[in-house]
Structure 1
Amino acid sequence: MTDWPRLLLPASFNGQGFYVESGTAEAGHSVSTTKIPNGRHINESFGPNARKFEVTAYLTGALSHVRAEGFLSAAETNHRGVLILPDIGPSLVRLTKAKREFQKDKLGYIALSLEAVAEPANAGLRLSANALEAQIYAVAGLAATAFGLFAGSSFRLAGQPSTVQEAAYDAAAVPLGDLVALRDSVRLDPAGRDALAPAFSAATLALGGLIDDPSSYGVALANAAIALGDAADPATLAETIVAFGAPDDAPPPQVSQGTALIIAENAGYGVALQSAARALALGEAQARRIYRDRGEAIGARAIATAVFDDALSRAGRAGLDMARELSAMKGLIAELTVRREADLAPLITVSAGRSLPSLVWAWSLYADPLRAEDLARRAGVPHPGFMPERFEALAS
């Protein structure tokens, strides 16, 4: 049986996510009908009309009014961009109208009426790689705010006994400890570790004030994840996350009532933050990753998808805002990886009846002796003078 909701894409305009209540897409053709004598007529085609989109979108959360203002500003200024609808996918459009609705009895919920017209086919559907990279960094900032909203609204702390608060502190410390372990495993140079120190110190300090201000800890944790993504080598960070394995699920409550349920819920929120922090760090790093070949790009895209899917599966209802921003980042990373992958040469298999130096192969394949070192490194040989009889190399 087809699970239709899982096939839907997260909706966004230029990386700014929203939920969709309903939407329409309109297409047509421009035809001029001219009457001629004897009751006849002729039709002249002037080509297809611009495709139009009308969407009823909505925003939720404490920052919904701020994000709604962003859509209104986009319609006035930065109105050209990529519109992604759940059942249609990306379209390059001009946002022609954004209408905000306010209802006093629905605070924290803002409805938007969006209208857009598609750009002509020759306008270029895709944003540049640099623009996609910039959007990933912008979404990371929005994700940090969403982390704070999640931590502030999910952890049950106020008025709880000390046993619950202590358990919640331990649960919230897990994602920060996980980031520290990642930091210590990605082999940062001294300058890189120094660059991370302020963000990790701020997160540690915010953890100490978790009971009174969990929102600040969520933001600080996200900023530490972003800083780690900026400092770490993207490939090494991805390999380390894979080596660590997916976060363990929170243990179930020992009894099905009272504080045991609250302790188990808080533990689950800690795991959700741990998985989300990993995704945020990896996404920040992937934005600037350069690939050696298509195989590496395909593998990196698969790892990023798995990490983000794990984070999205754990967010739950309390993490809708966080999941929205992570979904937007996931889509942007996938598109950016595909873009950079398309510019790479495919791999070919080279074989010979005997071992030859990499210098010979560099000249034979590329007429460029400077590429001998890359051939040897790709083949994994201990000495460039003795290449294997069969190995992989770039086609060009």
Structure 2
Amino acid sequence: MRDWLKAFRPASFRGVPFFVDVENAEGGRRVAVSPIAYSDLHVTEDMGGDVRHFSLSAYVAGDLADAAARSFTAALNAPGAATLVLPMSGPVLVRVPRWSLSRERARAGHVGFEIDFVSAGLPSLPFAAVPGALAIASLISAGIGLVSDAAAFRMRDTATGQADPSALAIATAAGRLSSVASAAALPELKQPEVADAIATINRLSTEPVAQAATVAAAIVSTCGAIADAGDPTAAVEAFEAAAVPAGGDVFDLVSAAGFAAGFCQTLAAGDYLSRQDARRARDRISPVVDRVLEALSGGLDVSVSEWLSDIAATAASELSATAANRAPLVNVQTEISLPATALAYALYGDAGRAGELVSRNSVATPAAMPVLFEAIAPVT
């Protein structure tokens, strides 16, 4: 028979524990219904997922219930999104639009709460669209607590003597972070910060059970820091090579998810001159992210997979929008070989774009372009 006392997770918000009497969740799809005049039929259109809501009847209890209530109230009142760990649903990133407290004289040592949570979503940027890379950076930052909670939950029953594989996985993750940071051409001012974060991860590898949440948070946040500051062209290749699960350990999965998220951000931040360039970049997402999602299945909480899927979807959407606003590539044929500068001026009225033609066609001698070459279609 199942031991229900151990079946569910301890509830917490911002790391503050509490007890749950009733746990409710609400979600769905935003479906637009359009009736057809003079017909018994109608049209339905899926407009995307609805906002997820969670409502709880919670309480704190014991001789220190008054102090626990103050701590919990402070956590509920704190600004910004934070991780809510629910007994059945697991960790989720939320905000708190409303809560209420009640205390009864007849129930001394018990303080009850009624709380509404709403899934965090993206932070707002007033008066401006959210560029894809910036939106992904926000998602990575918002998911740090979620990933760290999932890692800590998976490590909770690991005996200290059985944690050697996790210590090795953390050291491997630190080594991969060093390689990615070196390849990403970080600015000099950013290098000490990233190096210090990687050194901290290495140092904490000796305590994989006790420091599980801290290590997981450090891995993901360091991936985000490299993606924010690194050169997108150089970093994207390094992230792609690193986003391969090295094994089935919790920290192998955490690092693979972090590297895949960084890959999506740097891919979305790239500069794509043609429609085909942006489409090719978009097509690189699935092969990298899908293999990580497959490894995550059953290895970490489903919320981590949802987080990474949201990042991949945001990157794909950004690259699709970029492709729609770029000129296509065309094949240009000339009767004789001409210098790149002459061709650039003939196509674009700008001889300075000769380097673009040389680079795109991998030409060794700019003074003699091939008679058939690829170029971005000129604007007419």
- Who is 1:268 aligned against? 249
The alignment's TM-score, normalised by the length of structure 2, stands at 0.66
- Who is 1:62 aligned against? 85
Residue 312 (structure 1) shift: 1.6
Aligned to 1:62, what secondary structure does the other structure show? Answer: strand
Offset from partner CA, 1:341-395 (integer Å, 9 cap, x none): 2121110111223211011111211122222222222222233211122110100
Residue 214 (structure 1) shift: 0.6
Aligned to 1:350, what secondary structure does the other structure show? Answer: strand
Offset from partner CA, 1:224-244 (integer Å, 9 cap, x none): 111111222223223234456
Residue 61 (structure 1) shift: 5.3
Cα distance in structure 2, aligned partners of 1:311 and 1:365: 43
Residue 315 (structure 1) shift: 1.6
Offset from partner CA, 1:136-188 (integer Å, 9 cap, x none): 22211122112201210112565x252x1222211232222222222233444
Do the aligned residues in 2 keep the contact of 1:142 with 1:325 (CA within 8 Å)? no
1:349–1:209 distance in 2 versus 1, CA, 3 Å: same
1:349–1:23 distance in 2 versus 1, CA, 3 Å: closer
Unaligned runs of at least 5 residues, structure 1: 1-18, 32-42, 74-98, 101-106, 114-126, 251-266
* Structure 1 counterpart of 2:272, one-letter code: Y
- Who is 1:278 aligned against? 259
* Structure 2 counterpart of 1:145, one-letter code: G
Cα distance in structure 2, aligned partners of 1:333 and 1:275: 17
Counterpart mapping for 1:161-172 below 5 A: 162=161, 164-172=162-170
- Who is 1:335 aligned against? 317
Do the aligned residues in 2 keep the contact of 1:27 with 1:51 (CA within 8 Å)? no
Cα distance in structure 2, aligned partners of 1:310 and 1:275: 10
The alignment's TM-score, normalised by the length of structure 1, stands at 0.64
Offset from partner CA, 1:199-258 (integer Å, 9 cap, x none): 32343344344231210111011111111112222232232344568334x3xxxxxxxx
Cα distance in structure 2, aligned partners of 1:272 and 1:196: 21
Q: What's the C-alpha RMSD, in Å, of the aligned pairs?
A: 3.9
State percent identity of aligned pairs.
21
Residue 30 (structure 1) shift: 10
Relative contact order: is structure 1 or structure 2 higher (C-alpha 8 Å, sep ≥ 6)? Answer: 1
Structure 1 residue corresponding to 2:31, chosen from 18, 21, 25: 25
Cα distance in structure 2, aligned partners of 1:325 and 1:392: 39
Cα distance in structure 1, aligned partners of 2:274 and 2:310: 26
Cα distance in structure 2, aligned partners of 1:188 and 1:194: 10
What is the aligned residue count?
298
Offset from partner CA, 1:89-113 (integer Å, 9 cap, x none): xxxxxxxxxx99xxxxxx9x98979
1:394–1:29 distance in 2 versus 1, CA, 3 Å: same
Do the aligned residues in 2 keep the contact of 1:200 with 1:224 (CA within 8 Å)? yes
Do the aligned residues in 2 keep the contact of 1:23 with 1:55 (CA within 8 Å)? yes
- Who is 2:152 aligned against? 152
- Who is 2:344 aligned against? 362
Residue 339 (structure 1) shift: 1.1
Unaligned runs of at least 5 residues, structure 2: 1-24, 55-82, 101-112, 120-126
Q: Which runs of 4+ in 1 moved over 6 A?
A: 48-54, 63-66, 109-113
Offset from partner CA, 1:265-324 (integer Å, 9 cap, x none): xx4323312321211221332342221222221222122222222222122343212112
1:338–1:20 distance in 2 versus 1, CA, 3 Å: farther
- Who is 2:10 aligned against? none
Aligned to 2:85, what secondary structure does the other structure show? Answer: coil
Cα distance in structure 2, aligned partners of 1:314 and 1:145: 20
